[in-house]
Amino acid sequence: MNELTEYLSDFSDPDDLARELFEACCFDPDDPAIAQLMARAAAGQCEHSQRIRAMMPPPSKKTTAAHRAAVRKFERFRHLNPLTRPSAFHASSATEIDLETDTKNSHHLCPQRPASLIEPVDHRHRGDWKDVISFETQKWDITYITPHGPTKQINPFRSPAVPSPAIRSSLLTGDEVANLYDGLSFALWRYGVAMNAHIVIIWSMMGISEQEASRRLGCYLNEAKKWLKVGLGPRQRLSAKQRNGVEAHYAWVHEIDEARGFHSHIMMNVPPASAKEFEAWSRSCLTRYNGRNFDYSAFRSTIRRDAPASAAAVARHWSWFRYMTKQLDPAAVHAVKHRTLGLSSYQMRDVVNPWHLRDQLPLTVGKISAVSHSIGRTAQKRYRFRSMLSRGEFDRMYSGDELLDRDRLQLMSSLSVDDHSDYWA
């Protein structure tokens, strides 16, 4: 351990020191040497330094000598009313004298000040009250004495302290995976859309924190949805090259590992004819957010040209979902309530069958997966949709039967009683 601490002490840059601490898995706040190294690494700006700051215990509150003296002063003058005029004390008898009734020494009256800020000075009795009565000529300070103790004045021009982000595991919970599956299943059932685009954005190669990357992802998806919608309705924005717009639906997952750092996976439906144009626009949009150019490999998009309702498109749709949910918690359990069997519990990984689990680091963002509002829980409740996972029909989860149910519902809605009156007669 001594050789390791000596090796880590040679790093002067806090960011480099933070990365070396993570590689060595050296986190022991009880060790003074390691705690000192962690304190130095926490002063950096990279994502490793932010995680170290979140891991460190909060600083202990230390009382200063001035604070203790102010507390003693308050305890000494607790019995005085701070709303009355100031009073004085006789040094020998410590009896209170009302200056308003003392006409002999009325020239000693002073302006109104809270009595809790007046401290009598110890004088020996010389036979005259003007030598006995004295006030401390101190100026107003930024420390105010309240019934709850001394309170510091808050500077309104100083930005408030930003709390350290909370650390959570990078494993997906059962509810998060169920939300992803229900949204993608609803996209097939309601819109007949299979996601044909898989986008990977490596935020760590852009040099930004995890919180800022999460915020930029939301802005990017919002603008992408508007960009893909151009040309969909009667009101079209004029452009040099007209295109057919689509209603965009998406699902995303945050991940972090040692190889690529913090990155995001996105599933989306993009028109195949606009694939190259959409990739160029995405790079320009992320460059505008970043303020400068980034590495070309930080953004990667795969857009297939299959028919949106074909068997190959549906199979790829669910294959990408199983890949995005590879970080499903092995301890996650899915409960299904049957009409006859009652409540049954199943291991979530056995039901979803995701890709193999990989080793990943903890995250400092609270939300690591979501779907668009168009395929979210509210939209599903509006149409009374229940997925194969929620119904417990696990053998039909990846069969694409949502498209068959969609066709059957459309056929039933197109039929009318008037067209088949002879049949019903």
Mean pLDDT by 10 residues, the chain (425 residues): 74 81 75 82 81 72 68 63 41 40 43 41 40 40 46 57 73 95 96 95 92 94 92 60 82 92 95 92 94 92 86 94 95 86 87 91 90 95 93 92 89 66 43
In the prediction, which pLDDT does 193 show?
92
Instruction: Give the separation between CA 204 and CA 51, rounded to whole angstroms.
Output: 14
By C-alpha distance, which of 325, 317, 392, 394 is closest to 355? Answer: 325
Instruction: Give the separation between CA 153 and CA 170, rounded to whole angstroms.
Output: 41
In the prediction, which pLDDT does 128 show?
41
In the prediction, which pLDDT does 42 show?
84
CA 309 to chain centre: 36
By C-alpha distance, which of 29, 75, 80 is closest to 52? Answer: 29
In the prediction, which pLDDT does 242 show?
66
Strands 299-303 and 261-268: unpaired
Instruction: Give the separation between CA 188 and CA 290, rounded to whole angstroms.
Output: 34
In the prediction, which pLDDT does 20 show?
81
Question: Is 50 in contact with 361 (CB distance < 8 Å)?
Answer: no
Q: Following DSSP, what letter does each residue of 30-99 receive, concatenated?
A: TSHHHHHHHHHHTTS-SHHHHHHHHHSPPPPP---HHHHHHHHHHHHTTTS-TTS---EE-TTT--EE-T
Task: Give the helix/strand (H/E) hosting 371.
Answer: strand 369-371
In the prediction, which pLDDT does 59 show?
62
Instruction: Give the separation between CA 199 and CA 252, rounded to whole angstroms.
Output: 9
Instruction: Give the separation between CA 4 and CA 12, rounded to whole angstroms.
Output: 15
Instruction: Give the separation between CA 223 and CA 286, rounded to whole angstroms.
Output: 11
Instruction: Give the separation between CA 127 and CA 293, rounded to whole angstroms.
Output: 85
In the prediction, which pLDDT does 84 show?
38
Structure tokens at 85: 């005029």
Q: Give residue for tokens 């709390």.
A: 163
- Name 127's Cβ contacts closer than 8 Å, sequence gap at least 6: none
Question: Is 184 in contact with 195 (CB distance < 8 Å)?
Answer: yes
In three-state secondary structure terms, 208 is coil
Could you state, in order of their start, the residue ranges of all structural domains in the chain? 2-55, 65-152, 174-234+241-414
In the prediction, which pLDDT does 47 show?
78
Instruction: Give the separation between CA 299 and CA 192, rounded to whole angstroms.
Output: 28
- Name 266's Cβ contacts closer than 8 Å, sequence gap at least 6: 197, 198, 199, 200, 201, 221, 250, 251, 252
In the prediction, which pLDDT does 58 show?
67
Burial class (CB in 10 A: 0-12, 13-18, 19+), 220: buried
Torsion angle in degrees (nearest 10) through CA of 3, 8, 9, 11: 150
In the prediction, which pLDDT does 155 show?
60
Burial track 392-417 (b if 16+ CB lie within 10 A, e otherwise): bebeebbebbbbeebeeeeeeeeeee
**Quick check: pTM over 0.75?**
no
In three-state secondary structure terms, 269 is coil
In the prediction, which pLDDT does 142 show?
42
